[in-house]
Amino acid sequence: MDYSEFAYPSTPTSDPNSRRYWWSYCYNIIDANTINYTVFVSRKVGAAANYRSRDLITGAFSNLPFPTPIYVDVFASPSSRSDELMLNIAEQTFINDGYTILDVVTGQIYRVMNRTGNIIKLDKNWTITTWPGRVWTITPPISGGRYPCIGVYQKIVRY
């Protein structure tokens, strides 16, 4: 699918900088008749900004000209607190204070209250105890800058 389909406004335009808002989604299959959809709405913070993308099979990183969710593995905190998670040191800048993360397994949305080094404190207790865990998040621009995610919305659809 053409990536401009995920832009707003989605109508063709001659000004490439007019597309500043982007949406992307993730989903969790709850059972044979129920799916939990999560939509991330982001704002591109600069015309030349690039964002990380991650291949779902190989885990290799690439760059995209718009924000999109990537997965990040998380681990039990050394303090054993259920409201804290540990990140890989190489990926600690992918999640920071105020970020929103989505648990891949449960579809639960968490808010990151604080990051100190590679430890993040959540707004509520993490419910999965199988490690590593995995979360979806929107990363900041590669060159640095503000967190682009402006909204996260969920809807459970029953078929």
Q: Which domain holds residue 84?
A: 3-158
Instruction: Tell me the C-alpha to C-alpha distance, in Å, between residue 145 and each of 1, 8, 111, 114.
Output: 28, 21, 19, 17
What is the number of structural domains in the chain? 1
pLDDT tens, 11-57? 666 666 667 788 888 888 889 999 999 999 999 877 788 999 999 89
Global pTM reads: 0.86
How much is the average pLDDT of 56-82? Answer: 92
Beta carbons within 8 Å of 55's beta carbon, 6+ residues apart: 61, 62
Task: Read off φ and ψ for residue 125, nearest 5 degrees.
Answer: -70, 140
